Amino acid sequence: MSARSKFWLLLATILGVQLAALVFVAWWLTDRPPQQTITAEVLIAFGGIGIVLVTSLVLTWAWLDRSVFQALRTLRRGVDIITQTNPQHELEVRPHHLLDELPDAIHKLGLEHDQVKNEVAQALISGAKKAEEQKVRLEAVLCELNEGVFVCDARSRILLYNPSAQRILYNVTVVGLGRSLHNIFAREPVEHSLEVLHRAAKEHREVGEPETDFVCATVDQKLLLRCRLRLLSPDLGIQSGFVLAFDDVTRQIRALGQRDNLLRKVLDDNRGPLANLRAAAENLVAHPDMESEMRVRFQAIIAQESAKLSEQLDQMGARARALVGSEWLMADLYSADLFGIVVNRFNKIGDPKVVMTGTPLWLYGDSHALTLLLEQMIRRLQVLTGVYEFDLDVLMGDRRIYVDIVWKGAPINESVLAEWLQEPVKHTVGALTVHEVIDIHSGQIWSQRHRRHGYSVLRLPVPVSSKQWELPRDKLPPRPEFYDFDLAAQPADLGDLADQPLDRLSFVVFDTETTGLKPSAGDEIVSIAGVRIVKGRILTSETFDRLVNPKRNIPKRSIRFHGISDDKVKDKPPIEVVLPQFQEFIGDAVLVAHNGAFDMKFIQLKEAETGCRFDNPMLDTLLLSVFLHDHVEDHTLDGIANRLGVEISGRHTALGDALVTAEIFLRLIALLAEHDVIRLSDALAASDRVVNVRTEQASF
């Protein structure tokens, strides 16, 4: 029963009760002694009042029924039409209803629902198309891989394989969909590796899907294969499935065996000549008065055996260079050091111009080989593209680090890259090719569009160093936030800077380390550092990093956080020397800092004695974070970094914090653009609004 029917039933019940009451009252009034009989006028008046009340109630309900219930019923039916058949349906609600703007809101919602439904449909079509395109690309990628690939289910049945798997195994008859992997690979190593991975996954000892490396022989014992086995995510719908990538290392193992045999041969073959040389030399020394004929004979032995040794060593050296194994000088590398070597080499020549950008990361590799490879690739790119300016950048990828060469122009064709892969990298041990240097680092090189419009990148993934995940020192207590400071009153006339887009300006992001948190109470700067941002690029090759002698003892509680002790700064220049250098480094750039009032308070207190005045416009990542995300409480540097997905490295050093702040600032610029904060004046105005609504958090 509908609400309207229930209401009518209730109204009929009320009317019935009222009529019954009226009849009862009339009977009771008329059934009285003659002397107490009520006149007919009184009875008529009473009945008239009852009729008026009932009529009013009926009319009121009729009005409500027409203005509310019928309108709601029309809306309900209209919603059915909108959702089921015609999203453009105009709701046929009678005028003078009491639903205010509800019909218009429902009509608008219907239109938006239709739009969203169309967008979803288009997205599904586009998604299906992209899925098909990705499938084609995946097939193309699998065909191009040099490694063999098998995808198997829990019973080790082959679900997918690539052409390289057939090529490597030399036996296409045992490779086929639904065939058992154990017909090809020895069972024991595969099952043992699977057991290890399942145990690691169960105990959550791995981040992501676990994987392991091992060497396995084929069933016929003809090949030795270097394998990498990885469990598939259950989300893919293949329960307990796995991927096995493999390559033939039979020749490498054979080369290692030959190298060992060569070493033994060197030892065995040289024992005789060395013994003869030693005997001849000892006789000559022991018998200085030896007859000349005998002396000539011994000298001839020495010359003959020396020549034989020299010839044998030359032969062994040539064979050894041809048998260079896979034991490379791999070590932890800081990308800034690696890039610095490459940049310095080109700076000495002056052409091309190579700039180091991005936040430095720790990687694992052969420093010498990578340096030569990057230098050679830049040379090849210069000749091919005619470009004379390149950036060296580094990014954190999925358990890998991407070493990028960035230039303005189009990506490199795959056929050109394939030719480059076969070229030798000069001066590497064993005259390695580009492909071999890349293979040492278990990577693949490719070229693609860069995130900067109009730019491209040549990307080399390399292993990440365990140092990248080292825990930072003790957590630093939060610096006091201070919003009522002179920097909030930016220069009234910013000139042309005010209208410049943020992503086109030059910035210097800086940070300080101090003896304590109270500059007005005598705390001093012990370190100051900055990094330059130019047109959206962090130029890690253009940094300022100085230790400062504070002319006072550094408290142990501060040393515990930034690691700067009295011994480290006792021979360093004072702030009177460092601050003018820092001002020269800044130039006309816009300053950026996190909780910049704290750092600027230290600097402003030294302006008089240093003769430096910092009038540059300044942006504060703390204020910008509050402007964008006032719904959260954590606006510390670590909190913002975690929220924006910025990798933290070198925390609690002035340069390390400046680099983290720089990465945060670039991401804030992108978010600010969504709020129409595009120009420098917009960002300063946004900061001012935050200053006006925030209260002073602490005093200095």
Question: Buried (b) or exposed (e) across 663-688, using 16+ Cβ within 10 A?
Answer: bbbbbbbeebeeeebbbbbbbbebbe
Please, which residues bridge with residue 455 across strands?
Answer: 408
Rounded Cα–Cα distance for residues 222 and 217 (Å): 7
Scanning 360-445, the segments in alpha helix (DSSP H) are: 367-385, 414-421, 434-440
Rounded Cα–Cα distance for residues 249 and 246 (Å): 9
Q: What contacts 668, CB < 8 A, 6 or more positions away?
A: 621, 624, 625, 628, 644
Rounded Cα–Cα distance for residues 319 and 313 (Å): 10
Cβ atoms of residues 508 and 531 within 8 Å: yes
Strand order across the beta sheet in which 618-620 lies: 537-547, 525-534, 506-514, 590-593, 618-620
Please, which residues bridge with residue 389 across strands?
Answer: 353
Q: What contacts 125, CB < 8 A, 6 or more positions away?
A: none
| Residues marked as catalytic | 652
For residue 383, which amino acid is it? Answer: V
Burial of 6 (0-12, 13-18, 19+ CB in 10 A): exposed
Q: What contacts 172, CB < 8 A, 6 or more positions away?
A: 166
Rounded Cα–Cα distance for residues 45 and 52 (Å): 10
Provide the 3-class DSSP secondary structure of residue 505: coil
- Residue 519's CB: how many other CB atoms inside 10 A? 22
Cβ atoms of residues 242 and 193 within 8 Å: no
Cβ atoms of residues 394 and 540 within 8 Å: no
